[in-house]
Structure 1
């Protein structure tokens, strides 16, 4: 047993920097006041945490991430840049861009950081490979504060990488949201387990069986066995048969007086606060109405996802050289978030295409449709002033008066 404990905590034959050993040590000390062990892996067993992580990771993963090139006052897609294909299509041969972005965002929620190695050949990035966040340690130069990344692999030596070769995504406070709200998660799990035990014991918190006469040992054992067989597990809720004038009296103070259901709903709100998810998206609809449900969804996009997108874009820009940063920049296309609302999209397209600033082919390209005849020209409304269909400003009228 002593040898097994040494191996678990990294003092046996394994390296002291083995990620699994450190993770076991961290999980061992993650006990909450509710008596529940909360770690990133065990937190996924909480339905509210699982739903919140899925919504946040899948939302940012469904956004199109592209590289753009500045061209004077406008910008255009830089499809010829190496990072365009890696961020938009496949970062490596075995991972899609959607899976890659979702996995790194999940690492940020669990550990506060997400890492990927930028593999370069002749200075050109050819692939991005996700790194286990528990295997990466960051050190800083005491004078310049320049970070250095040390990656430890259990089967090999430790390697150091420059900050230019590591895509580092982090939370705003560099901390794990799961660990920061471990008490809320632990209480939610404890309440769920308590509900399961209540149902497993006959759908009652507790109770007593009162007998008018003193029971013999044989009668007591028989009564106890028959009650457990007929009033627990799958047999709960059946008809109870008591003998010798015994009566059952239920104790109803556990779940009612402690407002059990209200506590469970409140824990959903607490977990949603920690991960920036509105309660309506976690299917807690206690105070949801037709008016505020849409507003809460928009608040999630404005105050949670847009901030996450900006942190991602800043981290990706760090992979570019100083000269490239003057020309190229990454950007998430947040228009994808409204793609499911067909009526709103078509109404916006109609106004854009009918206005003096968007051509029909530009609208069609958003849905990956080809150009049409005359689609490259603007179609301004009849009352538009100063705009023509050939994208050129209207000629100024000649105000000269003949002598």
Structure 2
């Protein structure tokens, strides 16, 4: 019986079952499903693939290396707030054992590798954030409302408010590592095959053709003698055959001849999953001086920018109070990733000052220098008149002793 409005509808939440576990449950126990290659690719296995480790490290450390600021919104402008207490948690130490750089890097790393995203809890005594703590996955958890998408967080068995949790969600509701699991599985299979190929001779170079009539013991002796003389460190020596034996070399099949191409293609596939240009993962086959800078801009615009926007929103929601969220934002400085060489930067800054787009003090702040007196004026230094130097003549117009000394 429903006694509206005194009854409240209970929203269904997502339930996890060990009878039919999904990726989230398997990840808790460090397990995962096998890929189509038959290889089980866990997070630890995936990080042993150099392209995957490079992609995760590249994105997480690039985000964590950027300078972070707290700004106050006034009209259409954002004013820097250098003394906000939140900055100390993000720039210096998030807690007694973790720096701000390490905390941001770990949150982004978790979002790249885990479908649940990057999670951290805010310790907020007296309603002021004092430290940021990243718990283990089994400690800081959440239940998902299937109708509204609301997330209800718990630290252990204790419910915690959503505003006390930094939660960076991965795109497409799946982490890039999970989306690339099949491609990573193929890369692992190629790595294992290469290890066997060069380590234990997985692909034989040929076959010994033995005529009829040789007994089993003679065949074993011939095989052992061949391995001693022509395999391992002794390979490449001249072969001596006896009793009518012949050696027939094997030819490479098309897939063997393209083994290196297959490995390069997997680097590109993993790069697509993480949305990283392949030259930034070490594939420099098509990299040139002209397109390297363009790839760097693409990395900022298409790879880092979505992660930066998501992290700025997650930090703002969790670190600011209800009043501060109305007019405070967190911004990462993108200029560090767009800096060109010194000559190009000097030419650009000079052009911006000359066209009065920025003033000298703004340009000095751009390159990390303190402001100077008179630098807030918008002037073109190439056409602006320089104030005349005060004359040292007396009121009667006669030269002073200083002028006489200068003449002498």
Same-fold call, TM > 0.5?
Answer: yes
Distance in 1 of aligned mates of 2:139 and 2:343: 47
Query: 2:39 maps to which residue?
Result: 36
Query: 1:291 maps to which residue?
Result: 290
CA change 1:232–1:363 in 2 (3 A) is: farther
2:227 corresponds to 1:224: no
Distance in 1 of aligned mates of 2:195 and 2:238: 21
Query: Mean Cα displacement is larger for which, 119-128 or 277-286?
Result: 277-286
Listed one character per residue, the Cα deviations across residues 97-133 of structure 1 (whole Å, up to 9, x for unaligned) are 2221111111111103000111111000011112333
Query: 1:15 maps to which residue?
Result: none
2:151 corresponds to 1:147: yes
Contact 1:205 1:252 in 2 (8 A): no
CA change 1:217–1:145 in 2 (3 A) is: closer
The alpha carbon displacement at 1:254 in A equals 4.3
Contact 1:201 1:231 in 2 (8 A): no
Normalization by structure 2: what TM-score?
Answer: 0.79
**Gap regions ≥5 residues in structure 2:** 1-16, 388-408
Query: 2:342 maps to which residue?
Result: 342
Aligned length in residues: 366
Distance in 1 of aligned mates of 2:309 and 2:296: 19
Query: 2:237 maps to which residue?
Result: 239
Contact 1:201 1:236 in 2 (8 A): no
Contact 1:86 1:127 in 2 (8 A): yes
Q: 2:101 aligns with which of 98, 102, 118?
A: 98
Contact 1:118 1:129 in 2 (8 A): yes
Contact 2:230 2:239 in 1 (8 A): no
Listed one character per residue, the Cα deviations across residues 165-216 of structure 1 (whole Å, up to 9, x for unaligned) are 0000111222122122111101011112112211124585553112346444
Query: Mean Cα displacement is larger for which, 202-211 or 34-43?
Result: 202-211
The alpha carbon displacement at 1:34 in A equals 1.3
Distance in 2 of aligned mates of 1:49 and 1:375: 48
Distance in 2 of aligned mates of 1:92 and 1:327: 26
Contact 1:52 1:272 in 2 (8 A): yes
Query: Mean Cα displacement is larger for which, 134-143 or 68-77?
Result: 134-143
Query: 1:49 maps to which residue?
Result: 52
The alpha carbon displacement at 1:379 in A equals 3.4
**Gap regions ≥5 residues in structure 1:** 1-8, 12-19, 153-157, 390-403
Distance in 2 of aligned mates of 1:76 and 1:306: 22
Query: 2:83 maps to which residue?
Result: 80
CA change 1:311–1:216 in 2 (3 A) is: same
CA change 1:102–1:248 in 2 (3 A) is: farther
Query: 1:370 maps to which residue?
Result: 370
Structure 1 segment 18-37 matched on structure 2, within 5 A = 23=27, 25=29, 27=31, 29-37=32-40
CA change 1:257–1:141 in 2 (3 A) is: closer
Distance in 1 of aligned mates of 2:195 and 2:239: 24
The alpha carbon displacement at 1:35 in A equals 2.2
Contact 1:205 1:255 in 2 (8 A): no
The alpha carbon displacement at 1:95 in A equals 1.8
Listed one character per residue, the Cα deviations across residues 304-363 of structure 1 (whole Å, up to 9, x for unaligned) are 111111111111121223321222101111001034643433333323333413333333
Distance in 2 of aligned mates of 1:103 and 1:64: 16
Structure 1 segment 4-403 matched on structure 2, within 5 A = 23=27, 25=29, 27=31, 29-112=32-115, 113-140=117-144, 145-152=149-156, 158-202=157-201, 204-212=203-211, 214-233=213-232, 235=233, 237-239=235-237, 241-244=239-242, 245-254=244-253, 256=255, 259-319=258-318, 320-339=320-339, 341-382=341-382
Larger Rg: 2
Contact 2:71 2:328 in 1 (8 A): yes
CA change 1:144–1:48 in 2 (3 A) is: closer
Give the SS at the match of 1:122: helix
Distance in 1 of aligned mates of 2:330 and 2:290: 35
Distance in 2 of aligned mates of 1:334 and 1:353: 21
The alpha carbon displacement at 1:24 in A equals 6.9
Query: Mean Cα displacement is larger for which, 192-201 or 181-190?
Result: 192-201
The alpha carbon displacement at 1:255 in A equals 6.0
